[in-house]
Amino acid sequence: AQRVTQPEKLLSVFKGAPVELKCNYSYSGSPELFWYVQYSRQRLQLLLRHISRESIKGFTADLNKGETSFHLKKPFAQEEDSAMYYCALSGPGTASKLTFGTGTRLQVTL
Amino acid sequence: GAGVSQSPSNKVTEKGKDVELRCDPISGHTALYWYRQSLGQGLEFLIYFQGNSAPDKSGLPSDRFSAERTGGSVSTLTIQRTQQEDSAVYLCASSLAVPNIQYFGAGTRLSVL
């Protein structure tokens, strides 16, 4: 069975501090991994996917197959990063359902 | 262009009534998904359509839940004899087959009294 675990419900950091949102997964095979973000009063939207290997809004995430992790990182948190972050996985290649973690609320304070 | 559109945005119903939730995907997206977001449960997959067929219905919680998609476009999620535990935000998403980047609607907040 596929599973995504986000151990922290809430992560509170100061502006300018580094951020790491943890995500571990369980999947038989090679999944696609995603981070989705939901800002206050906005719809859920894709932040980044591991295949793209890109940095979005200063965030990066590296897939570690040995540790089955896909942690989201940003070196310097900004107030506008405050949101709900969901890690998700799907089967490789073609369209298939997303399995989400329970989400981590990131709170960036001054 | 227009994103995924869901209606109604809010629905309040009485226990035992039937409800229909509508999703209008992004034009040209062949895949359509329904998820449920409830307190304490996170985001749960319900059903997935490829065109008008549903190859994966594994997330539907009971036979009170059904969904259809017509013309490869609009989808309707129907909940019969609603129960209080059905209260949640129901999200719809659509994607091209490849890549599997799912675009979400704003959701329908269902409250069963």
Phi, psi of B87 (to 5 degrees): -60, 125
pLDDT cut 70: percent of chain B above it: 98
Option in A32, A95, A99 nearest B50 (CB): A95
What is the structure's pLDDT at B74?
96
Lowest mean pLDDT among A42-51, A59-68, A86-95, B9-18: A86-95
Name the 3-class secondary structure at B33.
Answer: strand
Find the chain B residues whose C-beta atoms sit closer than 8 A to any C-beta of A: 3, 30-31, 33, 35, 42-45, 48, 50, 56, 59, 91, 93, 95-107
Residues A43-82 have pLDDT tens digits of: 999 999 988 878 889 999 989 989 999 999 999 999 999 9
Residues B38-61 have pLDDT tens digits of: 887 789 999 999 999 998 899 999
* Mean pLDDT of all residues in B80-109: 93
pLDDT-derived band at B95 (thresholds 50, 70, 90) equals very high
Interface test with B, best of A44, A85, A90 (most B CBs within 10 A): A44
CB A33 within 8 A of CB A9: no
Q: Do B100 and A102 touch (CB under 8 A)?
A: no
* Mean pLDDT of all residues in A26-32: 88
What letters, b where the CB count within 10 A reaches 16 and e where it falls short, cover B5-42?
ebeeeebebeeeeebebebbbbeebbbbbbbbbeeeeb
What is the structure's pLDDT at B69?
96
Q: Which domains does chain A have, with CATH numbers?
A: 3-109 (2.60.40.10)
User: Does pLDDT of B7 surpass 90?
Assistant: yes
pLDDT-derived band at B82 (thresholds 50, 70, 90) equals very high
What is the structure's pLDDT at A93?
63
Neighbours of A90 (CB within 10 A): 22
User: Does pLDDT of B1 surpass 70?
Assistant: no
Phi, psi of A44 (to 5 degrees): -65, 135
User: Does pLDDT of A1 surpass 90?
Assistant: no
User: Does pLDDT of A103 surpass 70?
Assistant: yes
Look at the domain B5-112 and name its fold: Immunoglobulin-like (2.60.40)
Q: What residues in A contact B98, CB-CB < 8 Å? A: 93-95
What is the structure's pLDDT at A50?
86
Q: Do B102 and A46 touch (CB under 8 A)?
A: yes
Cα B40 from chain centroid (whole Å) = 19
Option in B96, B100, B103 nearest A32 (CB): B100
Among B59, B113, B60, B57, smallest CA distance to B87 is for: B113
pLDDT cut 90: percent of chain B above it: 82
What are the DSSP calls for chain A, one per residue? --EEE---SEEEEETTS-EEE--EEE-SS--EEEEEEE-TTS--EEEEETTT---BTTBEE--BTTTTB--EEESS--GGG-EEEEEEEE-SSS----EE---EEEEEE-
Strand partners, A56: A59
pLDDT-derived band at A20 (thresholds 50, 70, 90) equals very high
pLDDT-derived band at A100 (thresholds 50, 70, 90) equals very high
Place of tokens 């009971």: B62
